[in-house]
Chains A and B, each alone.
Chain A
Amino acid sequence: MIFELQVVFGLIALAGALSAALLKDPYAKLIALGILVSGALPFIVDRGYLDVAIVASLIAPISTIFVLMAVRRAET
């Protein structure tokens, strides 16, 4: 991958991790977690592990939906 694109996606992943650590609203934290995943996926694809990329991109929403059940139960 081109070096500028590595810097761009690295900055997106780093901003997602930082905002997922610092925000307080649970929904905003989950959105920041999605930003972290979308910044980390191009690095997996760039190394050529396409099967790992398919598995990771299909399993990450399932994990988010599990957390979302706990968030909805904690709110009420």
Chain B
Amino acid sequence: MIALYVVAAIAVFAAARAILERNTGRRFPYANVLNFAVAGSLVLLLDHPITLIAAAAYFVGSTLEANAIASTYAGGMKR
């Protein structure tokens, strides 16, 4: 039960840093940290075998999303 509180505290800290940061380039690492913390809390939240699949799907999807935004912000594919 204590792990859930630790992960929730990490999620709150990462969300606050990702929102309050002034430079846009500095928001991306904290968005990644928030995604990892929420993916960890989804596993610990419910005792069911399919929760693992849901957390894995969220992990893959959110990492893809954050990296797509960061890649486009950095200039995208040079053509």
Contact = CB atoms under 8 A, between A and B. Distances in A.
Interface of A: 1-2, 4-5, 8-9, 11-12, 15-16, 19, 25, 27-28, 30-32, 34-35, 37-39, 41-42, 45-46, 48, 50, 53-54, 57-58, 60-61, 64-65, 68, 71-72
Given A46-B45, A50-B51, A35 B24 contact: no
B contacts with A: majority SS: helix
How big is chain B's contact interface, by range? 35 or more
A61 B62 contact: yes
A46 B4 CA distance: 14
Among A4, A16, A42, residue most surrounded by chain B Cβ atoms (within 10 Å):
A42
A70 B6 CA distance: 38
A69 to B, nearest CB: 9
B4 to A, nearest CB: 7
B54 A53 contact: yes
A61 B58 CA distance: 10
A16 B72 CA distance: 21
A5 B48 CA distance: 19
A60 B19 contact: no
Among A9, A11, A35, residue most surrounded by chain B Cβ atoms (within 10 Å):
A35
